[in-house]
Every structure is written in C-alpha cells, then in structure tokens.
A and B are shown apart, each in its own frame.
Chain A
C-alpha cells in the first residue's frame, strides 16, 4: 500500500525555521517527482514546491522562493521541506504528495498532512 507520512510541524515564531519530513513506502520513491502542497485553515489548496526524481530540478511557488528548500533522500525514501524566514501567512497544513507518473497529471497520492503554525 502506498503511504506518505509527514512530520515536523509545530508552532514557530515569525522569522523562525522549521524542517518538514515525509516518509514514503509502498512504491519506488526514486521513480517519482514529489511535491509539497499546503492548505491554510479554512482555505483552499496551494502547491508549494516539487522536486524531480533524482533531485536535480526543483520548482517553487513565488511566495516561498528563496525561503523554502525542497530536497529528498532517495535511499531513505524521504522528502523534506526546509522552511526559513517563516511568516504568519505560511500557517497551514502541509501535505506531501506523489506526482502522477504521467507528466503534468497532478498528484495521485497524498499524506495526511502536518500542521505548521507561525505565530508570536
């Protein structure tokens, strides 16, 4: 069974840092692009970043460019999101998602999310 489990969320002050992790199982992790998607409380979905199978390419939404870094460790079947210079507006449930094997076909598997709260 495909499974994605996020961890690392919590309460952090504005300007602080946090590192999210996502453990993958049940599929060949190194064969898939992976993404982070977030959802602010009571709001819609926002794609945050994604990373190519081998980690050689990464893309970000404009609002986190230069502050967040997506990375992966294929031998450990793990995806990461390093979040620096956090802002109140980064408060959200952060989902780890597997990109569909068909290019541009979206995200076919999702974790249950980890909550990040940025507040003083």
Chain B
C-alpha cells in the first residue's frame, strides 16, 4: 500500500507569513494528489486537486506543486481564517490521506 506522510505534523505561524506543508508518497503517484483544509468541527474543504489545480472558489494565496513522490502546499500570506488542519490525499486507484498538519497561530 502507498503511504502518505505529511510534514510537519504541526506548525506555528503568524498572519502574513508564507508557509509550506510537505506531503511525501512512499512511491510515485504522478500528480494524483489533492489537498484539503479542515476547520474545527467542520467538514473538509477541497483546496487543490491533481497536485496544482486550484479548486473553484479557493483564494489564490493557496497553491500546490510537485509530482512523483514529493508535493507541496503553499499559502503565500496567511490570513486568520487559514489556521486549520491540512490533509493531503493520494487519489490513484484508492484514496489515502496523510495524517494531517495542524497550522496554529504563533
């Protein structure tokens, strides 16, 4: 089975910071990689699909990159509403989520 590992598991940052979250697959998954944001007590929200495509309605400060085994979610300038937990998900054959990265206010 393909494993998805996110780093870091938690991250403290300030409003206006640029942050990058990494997701690594245990074997190549091409660009079959999606990113989600989950606010406490809410359902997840799709941010990025197929590694770098911005989901409709998602602010352009969110971007995704990578292919093969290494993927990155970047938030260019953190806003107060961006403090949440982020998950990557591989989507080739079956779906597998990473363990999540909790982004907290410094």
- Name A's B-contacting residues (CB within 8 A): 35, 37, 44-47, 50, 59, 61-62, 95, 100, 102, 104-108, 110-113
**In the assembled complex, which residues on chain B have CB atoms less than 8 Å from the CB atom of A110?**
43-45
- Name B's A-contacting residues (CB within 8 A): 1, 32, 34, 36, 38, 43-46, 49-50, 53, 55, 87, 89, 91-100
**B94 lies within 8 A of A45 (CB):** no
**A105 lies within 8 A of B43 (CB):** no
**B43 lies within 8 A of A111 (CB):** yes
**B97 lies within 8 A of A46 (CB):** yes
Interface centre among A35, A61, A110, A112 (most CB of B within 10 A): A110
Residue A47 contacts which of B1, B43, B95 (CB distance < 8 angstroms)?
B95
> By DSSP majority rule, is chain B's interface helix, strand, loop, or mixed?
loop
CA distance in complex: A59, B92 (Å): 12
**A100 lies within 8 A of B94 (CB):** no
Given A104-B32, A110-B43, also A59-B97 (CB < 8 A): no
**B34 lies within 8 A of A106 (CB):** yes
Given A95-B43, A105-B34, also A45-B50 (CB < 8 A): no
**In the assembled complex, which residues on chain A have CB atoms less than 8 Å from the CB atom of B36?**
45, 106
Smallest Cβ-Cβ distance to A113: which chain B residue: B43
Q: How far is the CB of A91 from chain B (nearest CB, A)?
A: 18
**In the assembled complex, which residues on chain B have CB atoms less than 8 Å from the CB atom of A108?**
46, 49, 55
Q: How far is the CB of A8 from chain B (nearest CB, A)?
A: 17
CA distance in complex: A45, B53 (Å): 21
**A104 lies within 8 A of B50 (CB):** yes
**In the assembled complex, which residues on chain B have CB atoms less than 8 Å from the CB atom of A44?**
87, 97-100
- Residue pairs across A and B with Cβ atoms less than 8 A apart, 5 shown, are A46-B97, A59-B94, A105-B34, A106-B91, A108-B55
Residue B43 contacts which of A62, A104, A112 (CB distance < 8 angstroms)?
A112
**B97 lies within 8 A of A106 (CB):** no
**In the assembled complex, which residues on chain B have CB atoms less than 8 Å from the CB atom of A45?**
36, 38, 44, 87, 89, 97, 100
Of all A-B residue pairs in the complex, the 5 with the closest CB atoms, nearest first, are A106-B34, A105-B49, A47-B95, A110-B43, A104-B91
**B44 lies within 8 A of A47 (CB):** no
**In the assembled complex, which residues on chain B have CB atoms less than 8 Å from the CB atom of A50?**
95
